[in-house]
Amino acid sequence: MSPTLKSFPLLLAVSLTLAAGAASALDFNGYIRAGAGSNLQGSRQSCFKLPGAAAKYRLGNECEVYGEALFGQDLYQVDNGPRLSGHVMASLYSPDGFENLFESNNSNRLPQAYLAVHDLAALNGGLLWLGNRYYKREDVHINDFFYWNPSGIGMGVEDYRIGGMKLSYAVFRKDSIDQANMAPRHDLQLRGIPANAGGELQLGASYIANTGSDPTRHSGWALNVQHVQQATLGGWNKLALQYGVGPGVGLGSTGGLGNGSDVTRFRAVEQLYFKATPLLDGLVTAVYQHDSAPTGGQDWTSLGGRLVYSLGGNWKLLTELGFDRVKPDGAATRNLGKFTVAPTWSSTAGLFGRPEIRLFYTWASWNDAAQLAAAAGDALSSSGAYAGDRHGSTVGVQVEHWW
């Protein structure tokens, strides 16, 4: 990364501080989750994730502390014309929770720092942006699976209106600080395409360009198609189909630049949020992912759901059931099942009502293949908290809030 890009977040943060209160009130929002727990073996909480799966079911199964705070400020506005805004997000991630909150294995970052120009007549309702940002992310809430996530460091034009549709184009240089090598990634999206009554299509294409002479680095591409249906069982439904080749196996983000055209990924993601009654709602999901590579591929299948019942007052009962299955080529199938029940206090009813303070009990069971594939010390491994057992339980308390 160039010195200019490295210093950009700091410069933007200083600019926001100097501009606070000048053009408008500071916009502030954020997210936090934190908790404490124990496994029933008497040691600290152990969380359950199947080796080879891209996500785990979250309720009563998060051992980390995570928080983020996003600050936004209008920096300058032309009279009755365009305005310039700045945005900075700070985040804290502690993988071992409060026990090692201030240890060196934690990460403190600025995952977002960008400028945006609004209300340019030429952009027809869209905006021009530059910097590092979360960009048009799509996820499954109950397992925190960001299946379509083209975020990164770049620039672009977002939500140029074409009738009732919105066209966006961006070019990214790097997805995150964890990405070993950089390459230009072009992202083109068209959303709001009328499909049926209450439904729309969202299309996305990305291309990762190999701009160097290194023969071990390759170009790649990905396609994303998503159908969003409103007013389904009182909620909504999303179905996404995704396909990527080479570095495009990130399906929006950049996969390994060493991947050739013989490395592919197909993924289907289904999720349904329903509201059966004013007191009962929930979300169910299904994921199928097939990876193919000369060194061997695998299939990942995931099924799960979370049900929320409001008990009256500020209390509700949360339950979550999830199952993951990974079948590597030429190896035994790994299985993991997980169930959680969580009496919860909340100021707001429903699945997405926050803040929540939860008491939880989680039980999980896995097979021999999952145990053998787990890393040393992992909850599923023979050297983990449950030793040779292939099942385990945890209890604890967690708070989660967004604003």
Enumerate the domain spans of the chain: 3-402
For residue 97, pLDDT beyond 80: no
DSSP E strands, 313-333: 315-328
For residue 95, pLDDT beyond 90: no
Give the amino acid at 230: Q
Rounded CA-CA distance 328/334 in Å is 8
For residue 133, pLDDT beyond 80: yes
**3-state SS class at 152:** strand
Average the pLDDT over 148-152 and give the result: 97
Query: Is the distance from CB of 70 to CB of 112 less than 8 angstroms?
Result: yes
Average the pLDDT over 24-51 and give the result: 91
Rounded CA-CA distance 204/136 in Å is 10
Quickly state the pLDDT bin for 388 (edges 50, 70, 90). Answer: confident
pLDDT at 18: 47
Taking the CA atoms of the chain, what radius of gyration do you get in angstroms? 22
Both tokens assigned to 1: 């990364």
Quickly state the pLDDT bin for 4 (edges 50, 70, 90). Answer: very low
pLDDT in tens, 267-326: 999 999 999 999 999 999 999 999 999 999 999 999 999 999 999 999 999 999 999 999
Residue the block writes with tokens 């979360």: 134
Q: Model's pTM, two decimal places?
A: 0.91
Letter string b/e over residues 377-400, b meaning 16 or more CB atoms within 10 A of that residue's CB: ebbbbeebbbeeebebbbebebeb
pLDDT at 13: 53
pLDDT at 169: 98
Name the residue among 296, 300, 339 with its Cα closest to residue 320: 339
pLDDT at 134: 97
For residue 104, pLDDT beyond 70: no
Average the pLDDT over 248-266 and give the result: 96
CA 21, 22, 24, 28 dihedral sign is negative
Rounded CA-CA distance 70/67 in Å is 10
pLDDT at 107: 75
pLDDT at 1: 41
For residue 185, pLDDT beyond 70: yes
pLDDT at 41: 83
Average the pLDDT over 351-361 and give the result: 98
pLDDT at 108: 80
Residue the block writes with tokens 């599923």: 380
pLDDT at 3: 38
For residue 98, pLDDT beyond 80: no
Q: What size, in residues, is the chain? A: 403
pLDDT at 106: 62
Instruction: Select from 2.40.170.10, 2.40.170.20, 3.40.50.12780, 3.40.50.800 the CATH code of 3-402.
Output: 2.40.170.10
pLDDT at 211: 78
pLDDT at 11: 47
Average the pLDDT over 250-262 and give the result: 95
Quickly state the pLDDT bin for 5 (edges 50, 70, 90). Answer: very low
